[in-house]
Amino acid sequence: MLSDSSKRNQEATYWAYQGSNGEGGFNYNPPVSLSVRWEEKAERFLSVSGEEAISSATIFLDQDVGVFGYLFLGNSASSDPTTVPGAKRIEAFVKIPHLRSLTYERWAMVK
């Protein structure tokens, strides 16, 4: 686990999912920069639909993120994450409290 923030020394951009735009597309919040640990590795996980999937990366974070949002390793000012090469959709988010529930381990799975 990566509760030590010094291990989250990479910069990522996060776009939170807002919902459908009513025209077949989706809306996202403006991009925000996060400190992360981005590990490119395939891991099995359960998607929000309950199906087993394989990730392309696991991203350790110090704040909550939402499923269907996007993460990008690096800095981007684009308002539409679907136009950013390398931006990946969040398929699962896990948050586990430490023993006294004062801090949490958080990670996102992307495909």
Determine the Cα angle at 58 with ends 74 and 61, to 5°.
Answer: 65
User: What are the sequence ranges of the domains in the chain?
Assistant: 9-110
E-assigned strands of the chain? Answer: 10-15, 17-20, 26-28, 32-39, 44-46, 52-54, 57-61, 70-73, 88-97, 104-110
pTM: 0.89
What digits encode the pLDDT tens for the residues 10-35? 999 999 999 998 898 899 999 999 99
> Domain 9-110 has what CATH class?
mainly beta
Residues 6 or more apart whose CB falls under 8 angstroms from that of 104 comprise 95, 96, 97, 98
pLDDT of 40 strictly over 80: yes
pLDDT higher at 66 or 99: 66
pLDDT of 15 reads 98
pLDDT at 100 over 60: yes
E strand spans, 16-81:
17-20, 26-28, 32-39, 44-46, 52-54, 57-61, 70-73
